[in-house]
Structure 1
């Protein structure tokens, strides 16, 4: 059974393969070409892909095309899947993970300005290493690594300037085991949101988009009752600093392009591809 560390190492190979495929999409590279680009034999690449995604590279790559994305967008329902009172849908969610959230009250925000204790640490995930931070009430930050660990911690300090930051990689690793359980088991994660009322409304709606489903910015804005303001909605999506758990990666451009992503477009493709593969399975 693959550990999170093994999955993270496999993801590094998958990410390089995705980057090569995107750069050479018109040539429709064969498995041997992709394997050569990442310095593996075709057989080894096949094994790594299958271990990480659960399907063959050829099948997985079908989920990364604009044509597939456009098909998903066209099939999107007119109404977002309604979550239960806890904040989520049930058994259809990837890994049966239940995410609940609550916003910080004005009093708590004032208290945060005077200082709040925040634990944080870096740990492996199936999509590479990530920095996770938490308060006594739940996760308040989740950022995939972009290769600069100091920049990741600097961003956390900017977001919580008055906080007392306490590093605890062991707890971060245990938390990742709950977020990405192996084997898939029913679990729950609580989020603590800090933002404007509008941003929180957008983030809560993002949580209700099920894995394997994508919406365009315009579709998502329409679901929020703001059909003429996709850019305003897009700004709130871009302000999300709790990656994966608030799945902003499930909103893409209308033409099928994945668009920008705070933690890299290749990672956004990997997130979408893996979710689509598991949902179809």
Structure 2
């Protein structure tokens, strides 16, 4: 089941990459399906299972003009919610997330005395590596299956004095909570992060971007009180240790392009459009 979910995502990612690259040519369903070696019928069914929309309807969420319009819509939604004390429609899908920085001593000692459990799991966006402690989630990255060893090595460098144990039975329940939007789960997820005060401030601002919405790097820089530090905001977003829960994929350029992402622009576009489409289903 996990293998099928992962394979299906990579087929979808390849198809989205083709659609984006050949957007002006307006490829039809047969064209796109051929690129992922599926019949039109099976590809459309695969896409519907993934997001609940046909590829043609999904395409609207990938356009620059649409994303640019969403930048200002997001600003108005957040502002109105703050004034009225009400939740927007997208908040039904939002997770309650709290960010906690590790203590200075734990930061210096690379997690000495901390017990960490980790696992690899299938998600709607491919395989992921997740690590948790008794205090909360401390890592979440998307990976390719053949890079799983490298991902663990990179993680263990940051926490090399902690006790690391492979416990997918413990981490699986967190994956269910994270990737089931609209399931009605109100449990708060605590995130334990290693970062500078500025990085943590940026990550907290990203958490406040609603599900299915986007903000520009300039908007986030202004919101945290550093309007001249756009590049620093982009750098902090790129060092995000807990992907998806700290939604750096929701930050784009003010021109409406998605910008860079450590796991590729196509995956970032897939994540943004999947969230927006989920609200429309």
Q: State TM-score, norm by structure 2.
A: 0.89
Query: Is 1:11 matched up with 2:9?
Result: yes
Query: Is 1:70 matched up with 2:68?
Result: yes
Structure 1 residues 44 and 32 mapped into 2: Cα distance closer, same or farther (>3 Å)?
same
> 8 Å contact 1:78–1:223 — kept in the other structure?
no
> 8 Å contact 1:53–1:277 — kept in the other structure?
yes
Query: How many residue pairs get matched?
Result: 275
Partner of 1:128: 126
Q: Which is further off, 210-219 or 160-169?
A: 160-169
> 8 Å contact 2:126–2:144 — kept in the other structure?
no
SS at match of 2:15: helix
Q: Which is further off, 200-209 or 112-121?
A: 112-121
Q: Unaligned stretches of 5+ in structure 1?
A: none
SS at match of 1:256: coil
Q: Which is further off, 34-43 or 114-123?
A: 114-123
The structure that is helix-richer by fraction is 2
CA–CA distance in structure 2, aligned partners of residues 54 and 47 of structure 1 = 9
SS at match of 1:257: coil
Partner of 1:265: 265
For residues 101-158 of structure 1, what are the alpha-carbon distances to aligned partners after superposition, in whole Å with 9 as ceiling and x for unaligned?
A: 2222224434545342211110111111100001111000000013411111111012
> 8 Å contact 1:80–1:223 — kept in the other structure?
no
Partner of 1:198: 198
Query: Is 1:241 matched up with 2:241?
Result: yes
Structure 1 residues 258 and 182 mapped into 2: Cα distance closer, same or farther (>3 Å)?
closer
SS at match of 2:254: coil
**Cα RMSD for the two superposed structures:** 2.4
Query: Is 1:229 matched up with 2:229?
Result: yes
SS at match of 1:118: strand
SS at match of 1:124: strand
Q: Which is further off, 255-264 or 204-213?
A: 255-264
Partner of 2:135: 137
For residues 38-96 of structure 1, what are the alpha-carbon distances to aligned partners after superposition, in whole Å with 9 as ceiling and x for unaligned?
A: 11111111111111111111011110111211121243416956999xxxx68733645
Partner of 2:26: 28
> 8 Å contact 1:72–1:213 — kept in the other structure?
yes
CA–CA distance in structure 1, aligned partners of residues 215 and 57 of structure 2 = 22
Structure 1 residues 79 and 179 mapped into 2: Cα distance closer, same or farther (>3 Å)?
closer
> 8 Å contact 1:79–1:223 — kept in the other structure?
no
SS at match of 1:129: strand
Tell me how far 1:97 sits from its aligned partner: 2.5
> 8 Å contact 1:96–1:186 — kept in the other structure?
no
CA–CA distance in structure 2, aligned partners of residues 146 and 22 of structure 1 = 22
CA–CA distance in structure 2, aligned partners of residues 113 and 172 of structure 1 = 19
Matches within 5 A, 1:101-250: 101-110=99-108, 112-147=110-145, 148-181=147-180, 184-188=183-187, 189-250=189-250
